[in-house]
């Protein structure tokens, strides 16, 4: 699912927080609507049509947890993400047990918010191209390394063997897991995904294995865990390297005995699941440092797939670029016919520390900014093409203490960034580095200013 296809409802009684979140998420393509309280949101939700609700917990009249309960009572199962400045373990447990997918503690990094949203609503970098037999595979590439992965996925998919996928963030590990399940004999059964790094360890055991009513504060009813929900299908344990040792022992038991015990229960349950695990850390090093169980590592590492970083498969970049251009042409109603030769050379020569995810974001930006039929280097982010244009001087009047601003010639976006950087820096100087006072001077929220500072590379 592309971002522009996702509708998000933001519910918060603080005006600046609603405005800041709407600005951040709208800037990257999400459609956002806002409400000031739970009652207003319930009325808006009667018409449905939202893919995610982001709600504050502490609100007057109807708090976020009561809002969620009322919503679920109406039969509405829209995914729910909580924000709270007063996060405690019991409160987080209560929220998630009532049906919330996750929560964030204020103040939070916008990048973490975006990451959680994309996990919940299923925004992925999924790509499909026909292979030589006209079957569909779930990633693009003609490099030898990717062709080897194609063949390995085809070979192992029909089995029930455990798979460990390793590689840097953004290399497509989840896409490989999707493909393995899709082409397996379990494809008609559930495919359950769990991000082990995104769920606090105090909650992860209950999420994975379930719990019985009354087993802890907030356990108001029995709940099935992710393993039970994946029965007969596949479970994908993302970022398993972040799991604490006590939970690792319980995962090992599920692999060895095909049994689990819910939190608070004295009864074992049989489960039949295929396990696919993924990590962006070196588990061998983690084993050597006693941060990961050696026996679990060998149980997971039955079949190993290493996803190479994009810098090691640069011959795949042109195909990925053209695929993303076609996707965004459809999304934004454009008719862009590829990139010019110089721009493609820049894209191929760049090192892509953010891998395929970074490439997709760069192409999305370029498609939006391109008015002709070819993408040129002028539309690339500055970190990819830092010396794209000569410097020009633009006079600014009516702003005390500022008479000139440097901007990239023929690039409105670069000029706007330069302008934003100057006014934010000026506000911080006048506020003597106090972020809250600077935000008041600019008429924006503290969270929005923090986001702008990070985006523009400014420190206090």
* pLDDT digits 0-9 by tens, 205-230: 888 988 888 777 667 788 888 999 99
Give me the mean pLDDT over the 35-54 stretch.
88
Q: Which position has the higher pLDDT, 276 or 448?
A: 276
236 neighbors 230 (Cβ within 8 angstroms): no
Q: What is the pLDDT of residues 47-68, one digit of tens each?
A: 777 889 999 888 888 988 899 9
E strands of 88-228, at which residues? 102-105, 129-130, 136-137, 163-166, 191-195, 210-211, 223-224
Whether the pLDDT of residue 123 is over 80: the answer is no
Q: Which position has the higher pLDDT, 249 or 393?
A: 249
In 3-state terms, what secondary structure has residue 105? Answer: strand
Fold classification of 129-308 (topology level): Rossmann fold (3.40.50)
At 343, is the pLDDT very low, low, confident or very high (cuts 50, 70, 90)?
Answer: very high
pLDDT at 54: 94
Whether the pLDDT of residue 128 is over 50: the answer is no
Q: Which helix (H) or strand (E) holds 324?
A: helix 317-332
CATH 3.40.50.2300 domain locations along the chain: 3-121
Q: What is the pLDDT of residues 430-458, one digit of tens each?
A: 888 887 778 777 766 666 677 678 767 77
The whole-angstrom separation of Cα 263 and Cα 96 is 15
Whether the pLDDT of residue 311 is over 70: the answer is yes
Closest CA to 82 of 69, 70, 96: 96
* Domain 311-379, CATH class in plain words: mainly alpha
Q: What is the CATH number of domain 391-456?
A: 1.10.10
CATH 1.10.10 domain locations along the chain: 391-456
Whether the pLDDT of residue 89 is over 60: the answer is no
At 275, is the pLDDT very low, low, confident or very high (cuts 50, 70, 90)?
Answer: very high
Give me the mean pLDDT over the 322-346 stretch.
89
Query: Residue 261's Cα: distance from chain center in Å?
Result: 30
- pTM for this one? 0.56
CATH 3.40.50.300 domain locations along the chain: 129-308
E strands of 196-267, at which residues? 210-211, 223-224, 234-238, 259-261
Question: If 0-12 CB within 10 Å is exposed, 13-18 middle and 19+ buried, where does residue 286 land?
Answer: middle
pLDDT at 331: 82
At 72, is the pLDDT very low, low, confident or very high (cuts 50, 70, 90)?
Answer: confident
Fold classification of 3-121 (topology level): Rossmann fold (3.40.50)
Question: If 0-12 CB within 10 Å is exposed, 13-18 middle and 19+ buried, where does residue 281 land?
Answer: middle
Whether the pLDDT of residue 251 is over 70: the answer is yes
In the chain, what percentage of residues exceed pLDDT 70? Answer: 83
């Amino acid at each position: 699912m592309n971002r522009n296809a996702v509708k998000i409802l933001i519910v918060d009684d603080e005006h600046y927080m609603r405005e800041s979140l709407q600005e951040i998420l709208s800037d990257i393509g999400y459609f956002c609507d806002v409400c000031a309280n739970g009652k207003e949101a319930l009325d808006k939700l009667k018409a449905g049509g939202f893919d995610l609700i982001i709600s504050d917990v502490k609100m007057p009249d109807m708090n976020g947890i009561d809002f969620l309960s009322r919503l679920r009572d109406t039969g509405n199962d829209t995914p729910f993400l909580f924000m709270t400045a007063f996060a405690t373990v019991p409160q987080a447990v209560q929220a998630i047990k009532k049906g919330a997918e996750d929560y964030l503690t204020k103040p939070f990094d916008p990048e973490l918010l975006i990451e959680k949203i994309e996990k919940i609503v299923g925004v992925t970098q999924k790509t499909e191209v026909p292979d030589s037999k006209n079957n569909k595979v779930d990633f693009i590439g003609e490099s030898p390394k990717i062709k080897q992965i194609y063949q390995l996925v085809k070979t192992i998919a029909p089995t029930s063997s455990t798979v460990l996928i390793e590689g840097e963030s953004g290399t497509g590990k989840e896409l490989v897991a999707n493909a393995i399940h899709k082409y397996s004999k379990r494809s008609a059964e559930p495919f359950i995904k769990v991000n082990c790094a995104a769920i606090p360890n105090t909650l992860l055991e209950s999420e994975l294995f379930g719990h019985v009513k009354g087993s802890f504060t907030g356990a108001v009813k029995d709940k099935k865990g992710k393993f039970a929900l994946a029965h007969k299908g596949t479970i994908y344990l993302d970022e398993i390297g972040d799991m604490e040792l006590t939970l690792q022992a319980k995962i090992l038991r599920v692999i060895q005995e095909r049994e689990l015990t819910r939190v608070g229960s004295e009864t074992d349950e049989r489960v039949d699941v295929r396990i696919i695990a993924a990590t962006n850390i070196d588990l061998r090093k983690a084993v050597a440092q006693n941060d990961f169980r050696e026996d679990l590592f060998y149980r997971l590492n039955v079949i190993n797939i290493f996803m190479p970083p994009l810098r090691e498969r640069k011959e795949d970049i042109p195909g990925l670029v053209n695929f993303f251009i076609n996707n965004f042409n459809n999304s934004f109603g454009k008719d862009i016919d590829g990139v010019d030769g110089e721009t493609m050379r820049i894209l191929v020569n760049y090192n892509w520390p953010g891998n395929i995810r970074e490439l997709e974001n760069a192409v999305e930006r370029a498609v939006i900014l391109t008015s002709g039929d070819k993408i040129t280097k002028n539309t690339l982010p500055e970190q990819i093409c830092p010396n794209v244009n000569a410097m020009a001087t633009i006079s600014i009047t009516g702003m005390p203490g500022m008479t000139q601003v440097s901007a990239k010639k023929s690039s409105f976006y670069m000029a706007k960034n330069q302008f934003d950087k100057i006014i934010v820096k000026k506000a911080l100087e006048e506020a003597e580095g106090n972020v809250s006072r600077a935000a008041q001077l600019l008429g924006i929220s503290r969270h929005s200013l923090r986001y702008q500072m990070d985006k523009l590379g400014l420190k206090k």
